[in-house]
A and B are shown apart, each in its own frame.
Chain A
Amino acid sequence: MDQERERSWTLRPHVSRKVPLIFGGLLGLGTMIFLVGLRMDPLRSWQAYLINFLFWGGIAQGGVVFGAMYHVVGGKWGPPIRRCAEGMVAFLPVNFVLFFPLYYALNMFYGSVREINPVRGAWFDPRFIFVRGGLGLGLMTVLSLFFVYYSLRPEVGWLQEQKLRPRHWLYEWITDGWQGQELEAQHCQRGLDVLSAGVLVVYPITYTFMAFDLIMSLDPFWYSSLFGGYFFISTFYLGLAGLALVCVLIRWQLGPSVVTSTQLSDLGRLLLGFNLTYFAMIWSQYIVIWYGNLPEETQFIILRLWEMPWAVFSWSVFILSTFVPFLIFLSQKAKREPKIVFAVSISVGLGLWLERYVLIVPSVWHSEVIPLGWIEIGVTAGFLGAAVLSYLFFLKNFPVLPFVSPIPSSADLDKQHAEESPAKVRLAR
């Protein structure tokens, strides 16, 4: 058994030295461009910053939430996929740090709102937004980290026992107070149960407020009660797309035995499902606003959907992140085909980046020229760099194939309990 574990431990994508360099470069470049941009056109650079902050943070968070969900429903179909998802946690602390600079942007964004809508002024005092946003994100990050921590601990513990790896502060920290496999299995089990629930409960709330505070309120009049729900669904969808992308890459690295076609197609089915959910969220808002025809609601929508130039963006969002994936994933075969899955996740990601763009920019940007150029690209590149680096860091240090698993989730335990129940009706295997 140990050999088997050892095999899966060694089975890690070996990333060529160049890759970190390239993305490090991107990060540096992005930072530079951002700083320059701040001098030249602060508003523009800040809005680019906000877009990417929401986008990359969204991918990471979405991934972790997937992991938590996988645990809660007691999924069995793809340990590596679960681990790939957990890996995204690596970017969350970075993202949390990246939230602080926004403090300087908020004043710029909300000055006008406070003038037009004094009633809500106090609520939009940047300091207040900053504090509540910070607390939410902080909590979210901590929960996510500990969730993954409990998932990794047994394996790292085993590694330490086997002395397969030079001592390392990270491992030391993770396996602090190690009490041996069996005990730990139980202990981590409980931890996972609690934290996964925690993640799943806190996530919607935090992201609802992110949506209300950082996007919806940029427009002083518009409001939509579903917007929060819409945003956390969209973010989760984004996370899934990111996950699919990573999985395909891993598969290409380590071969189809690690990430099987079946697992891909299951992932694909999930994507399809959330594609529909995401669309339902858009539709539920659109039809209501269309029908009600109340100016305070319609203006926001019309401006983005029917007025140039924003219409272009909105419709490409629709095509890239909703329509195309739907058509493609209708077919069973497509879902099993790595290349196609890869392409689709790219398209979804692109679409959702534009989505955040078109949600934010028209509210704060009031000049003729469309703010889409080197600043935006630069800032995006920077975030990309940061995200990839942190993910590589995770891959480097932790096994892609969770080998001290399947950790039986409490759901399974229940099922075992069910097996003992008088009737031998066998439930979920």
Chain B
Amino acid sequence: MEIKRRDFLKILGVSGVTAAVSGCSSETSRTLIPYLIPENEVVPGQATWYATVCRECPAGCGILAKTMEGRAVKVEGNPDHPVNQGRLCARGQASLQGLYNPDRIRQPLRRGADGNLQPVSWDEAERILAGRISELKGQGDRLAFITPVMAGSLDRLIDLWLKSVGGGKRLRYEPLSYESLREANRIAFGVQEIPVYNLQNANFILSFGADFLETWLSPVEYARHFALRRAYRAGSMGRSVYVGPRISLTGANSDEWIPVQPGNESFLALGMVNAILAEGLAEGLPAPELKGLQDIVAPHTPEAVAKQVGISADKIRVLARAFVKKHPSVALADAKSSNATDICVAVNLLNYVAGNVGATVRFGAEAAMAQVSSYGSFQKHLREIEQGAISILFVAGVNPLFNLPEGKRLRERLGKIPFVVSFSSFPDETTESAQLVLPENTFFESWGDYEPWTGIRGLQQPVMEPLYDTRALGDILLLLSTRLQNNEKLPWKNFYFYLRDQWKELYRRIKPDVDFETFWTESVRRGGNFQSVATKSVQLNPEVFKKSFQPPVFAGAGDGFALIPYPTLAFYDGRMANRPWLQELPDPVSQIVWENWLEIHPSDAEKLGIKKNDLLQIQSPAGEIKLPARISKNVRPGIVAIPVGQGHSAFGRYAQGRGASPMSLLSAEPEADSGALIWYGTRVAVRQTGLKHMLASTSGNDRSHDRGIVQTISLAALQSGIEKKEHPHLLRMYAEHHHDKHRWGMVIDLNACVGCSACVVACSAENNIPIMGKEEVAYGREMSWIRIQRYDEGTDERPDHHFIPMLCQNCDNAPCEPVCPVYATYHNPEGLNAQVYNRCVGTRYCSNNCPYKVRRFNWHTAQWPEPLNLQLNPNVTVREMGVMEKCTFCVQRIRGAELAAKEENRDLRDGEIVPACSQTCPTRAIVFGDLHDPESEVAKLAKNPRGYHVLEHLNTQPAITYLKKIKAGPVEG
């Protein structure tokens, strides 16, 4: 069968080439430098890898794009990039579906007389735009330019360009900004920055609502840190406690969840500081500082706080002690309430007294996020707009009309602007109200650089020709300036040369001992230039001693529920909602797909007589939305939580008309101190509509019913030293069969797995897994080969979520194999449970007989609307309707590596073969390798005393060993 498959692939490859021949011309592609130097560029059926930067969120991870026949087919993390070190999150993996999104804007558009957008040529578009700009006659400040945080050459170019047209207002807008944190750092330490957090050194992570595993600052990096420190080493492991109104994924992965009303976090932090000082645990504080601190926290005795926050004073003391004793620890704050800055300040003080500042909280290398312009200033500009002070608005790479509260009023305001230009690659809420749309390349098609943290400069090169008639923002601006005869100010032919010049300056600054070309080539190849920056020490800023701490205030009726809108793992702020993979990716905690919901505590639901899937009307002073109910103990009573990201009115077929966006419920009033948008500042009234709306969940049952699928072990037991239990010698019904060369196997460490689901998307990308849509998934027909199963092992009071990646176990005694009448599935000599798609007749017996239920059946013919089909991996068959499919440890990668080894006639190296899931796992929870080779990592791990097989009693002898999750229990101190 293998032979047959490869023949088939050759054919695919050829067709791929013909597809790619469509225009490989410009200099850019000549100036590309592949990550691994191949003999020649495009070889049919052979991959070329290019290093670039992921721009889906401000974290700025480095990625390697795998291109075949001139099209990118897969992205993986760039191992050289310090932020993500070769790993990617689900969003990063799905970035290709931005590039190949069928709803992309394919050429410039202008709004015609009939109010609809009509295609125009670039030339025409530039003419119009240039005309508009020249009308300004030097009143450049009537022009406003909104971009996200760009932290790189393009950012500077935009400033230059604005200057060249006589100045103009510049806004760096991020929906998930950290203004209060930045402000708090100024107040506490006098540095208006966002520091580096070294979670991997923190013995105790105390997170005040910071979801660092999903979206907070740099999730891939922090997930890695988190898992590293959580790993059980020398009798101990890092501990973590999550403080917040709801259990996020981060909360679910912490040892403890301390539910507090939003906004009360500050008092808890202060209470802890108070306790620490009272017990004299804070060492080395200069007397004046100590004195000042004592004054601030004096009113916040644990007892007082206990009353305010609703957790016992002893608990506060225990936490306080633990926080100091487990030095270095770290407290993180993601404050979104009306007193956000207070909270951040309080948390800063906590870190300070525990001596974490300088240890796990380091100033010096600041985060690009610090450059974000505050929501307050945004409001200011909007006011100007109302006064008609702005006549041209440029919007690039952001979608304020979706993300900002009071969307309707905003639209009206923008309506007041005579000329709105959008550079968006996709139709979205903002392009809806734009007069001119100049579609930008996706980052896969354009040059650029991005510096997420000072010194870490990712270099972004195009990995393929633009799919459509789109241009890079930089090029557009430069061409525009040519039209405006501003060449003397902006003398660059196109952005590529500007970028090079920028890096020349960098070159001069850091003076490496190579000539510029080598430096440049090397940087492009490696995907950037990475320098470490010295930590600078900070002292308390006297201003802090004058700080007074306010309780949170809420807009809306006092009896309403405090509303918690939260960005999600899959959609971030909503910008990813048009990626089908992410739409069909179950939310790890709720396991719901394709829509969003309102999360309410059972006790509240009971009061209001709300049942599961009841369609609810949620009303705030600012607006109202309708969402189905999800009743869950993941939120504390008195609050309701709604995931952000769905509810797009215009964002392509996959995002449009799904659920609703809670942002429209928020009040527009910015926070007093920092001017940040207040997320947790609204009370909403929840009412029944009497209608039902079924949510699609992939979880057949939330409990594991004593099936021992996720197994855990207590930290104590581990410390007392357990032996891997040897099974009683079993009499075999039939002789053992041998694997002559390799026996591929996998180890999955459940203690490392945080359920981030990156593996799921990676698998879809690698293995051409089709998406089915809400209705099919609701009926249980999703196609994912690997899934993150979530079991709630908790009590009635408190949920306790366990995550387990479930994929084909490639059993030695696979029950699925013998029942197949046509040998479509069999056990290959390397221990893989092979599945021969072309042989399958579709009796489906194999799936019935698979205890792990990891086989997927093609119920219908899979759909890949143009140009999504260009992403298909030519090394993997696209399955026909009526056949069974499943994971085979990425057999195509195994064969590839074996071939390579054969050509170089050497043995395979351990770690040379990496399946897509394992490759992308940010926490390195999944390890693959040859169980026959005793030196291989996987073989060693498989011997770990925590190891077990799922459903061992069925004697299926799986190739996957799971390592039990360690239950550390509540922190003690």
Seen from chain A, the residues whose Cβ lies within 8 Å of a Cβ on chain B are 289-291, 293-296, 298-299, 301-303, 306-307
Contacts A294-B953, A294-B954, A302-B733 known; list 8 others, CB within 8 Å: A290-B733, A295-B730, A295-B953, A295-B955, A298-B733, A299-B730, A299-B731, A306-B731
B7, chain A: closest CB distance, angstroms: 35
Question: Smallest distance from the beta carbon of B954 to chain A beta carbons, Å?
Answer: 6
CB-based closest 6 A-B pairs: A302-B731, A298-B733, A293-B733, A295-B955, A295-B730, A299-B731
Of chain B, the residue at the smallest CB distance from A303 is B731
Which of A296, A301, A306, A307 is the one whose CB lies under 8 Å from B953? A296
Given A291-B818, A293-B813, do A302 and B955 touch, yes or no (CB 8 Å)?
A: no
- B820 to chain A minimum Cβ distance, whole angstroms, is 14
Interface residues of B: mostly helix, strand, loop or mixed?
Answer: loop
Q: How far is the CA of A301 from the CA of B731 in the complex (A)?
A: 10
Residues on A with C-beta less than 8 A from B954 are 294
In the assembled complex, the Cα of A293 lies from the Cα of B733 at a distance in Å of 7
Q: Bound complex: CA of A295 vs CA of B951, how far in Å?
A: 12
B residues in contact with A291, CB < 8 Å: 818
- Quote the shortest CB–CB distance from B539 to chain A (angstroms): 66
In the assembled complex, the CB of A406 is this many whole angstroms from the nearest CB of chain B, namely 52
Rounded to whole angstroms, the CA-CA distance of A293 and B954 in the bound complex is 8
Query: Are A294 and B731 within 8 A (Cβ)?
Result: no
Number of interface residues of B (CB under 8 A): 10
**Majority secondary structure, A binding face:** helix
On whether the beta carbons of A293 and B955 are closer than 8 Å, the reply is yes
CA A104 to CA B953, docked complex, whole Å: 35
Hey, which chain A residues are within 8 Å of B813, CB to CB?
293
Measured CA separation A354–B753 after assembly (Å):
56
A–B complex contacts, Cβ < 8 Å, 20 sampled: A289-B733, A291-B818, A293-B813, A293-B955, A294-B953, A294-B954, A294-B955, A295-B730, A295-B953, A296-B953, A298-B731, A298-B733, A298-B955, A299-B730, A301-B733, A302-B731, A302-B732, A302-B733, A303-B731, A306-B731
Give the residues in chain B near A296, CB-CB below 8 Å.
Answer: 953
A residues less than 8 Å from B730 (CB atoms): 295, 299
Q: Which of B731, B734, B954 has the most CB of A within 10 A?
A: B731
A169-B967 Cα distance, complex, nearest whole Å: 79
Residue-by-residue, is B731-768 near A (CB-CB < 8 Å gives 1, otherwise 0)? 11110000000000000000000000000000000000
Distance, CA A294 to CA B733, complexed state (A): 9
How many angstroms between the C-alpha atoms of A291 and B730 in the bound complex? 16
With a cutoff of 8 Å between Cβ atoms, the chain B residues found around residue A294 in the complex are 953-955
List A contacts of B732 (CB < 8 A). 302
- The CA of A307 and the CA of B729, in the complex, are separated in Å by 14
Cα-based distance from A299 to B955 in the complex (angstroms): 12
Chain A residues contacting B731 (CB-CB under 8 Å) are 298-299, 302-303, 306-307
Q: Taking the nearest CB of chain A, how far is it from the CB of B733, in angstroms?
A: 5
CB of B254 to closest CB in A, whole Å: 36
CB neighbors of A among B224-271 (8 A): none
**Shortest distance between the CB of A295 and any CB in chain B (Å):** 5
Q: How far is the CB of A325 from chain B (nearest CB, A)?
A: 28
Shortest beta-carbon distance, A195 to chain B, in Å? 45
CA distance A293 to B735 in the complex (A): 12
Could you mark each residue 943-961 of chain B with 1 if its beta carbon is under 8 Å from any beta carbon of chain A, else 0?
Answer: 0000000000111000000
Task: Provide the residues of chain B in CB contact with A293, threshold 8 Å.
Answer: 733-734, 813, 955
Closest CB in chain B relative to A288 CB, distance in Å: 12
Q: Which residues of A contact B733 (CB under 8 A)?
A: 289-290, 293, 298, 301-302
Nearest-Cβ distance from residue A308 to partner chain B, whole angstroms? 12
Tell me how far the C-beta of B761 lies from the nearest C-beta in chain A, rounded to whole angstroms.
Answer: 36
Which residue on chain A has the smallest CB distance to residue B954? A294
Nearest-neighbour CB distance to chain B for A116, whole angstroms, equals 12
A297 to B732, alpha carbons, bound, how many Å?
11
In angstroms, Cα B147 to Cα A267, docked, is 98
Residues of A within 8 A of B734 (CB): 293
- Tell me the minimal C-beta distance from A348 to chain B in angstroms: 29
Chain B residue numbers with a CB within 8 Å of A298 are 731, 733, 955
Chain A proximity mask over B802-818: 1 for CB below 8 Å, otherwise 0: 00000000000100001
Distance, CA A290 to CA B732, complexed state (A)? 10
Q: State the CA gap A241–B731 with chains docked (Å).
A: 35
CB neighbours of A299 from chain B (8 A): 730-731
Tell me the complex Cα distance, A303–B813, Å: 20
Residue of A nearest to B955 (CB): A295
**Bound form: Cα–Cα A115–B733 in Å:** 27
Q: Which residues of B contact A307 (CB under 8 A)?
A: 731
Q: Which of B733, B734, B954 has the most CB of A within 10 A?
A: B733
Chain B's nearest CB lies how many Å from the CB of A190? 52
What separation, in Å, do the CA atoms of A303 and B733 have in the docked complex?
10
Smallest beta-carbon distance B949→chain A, Å: 13
Q: In this complex, what residue of B is CB-closest to A293?
A: B733
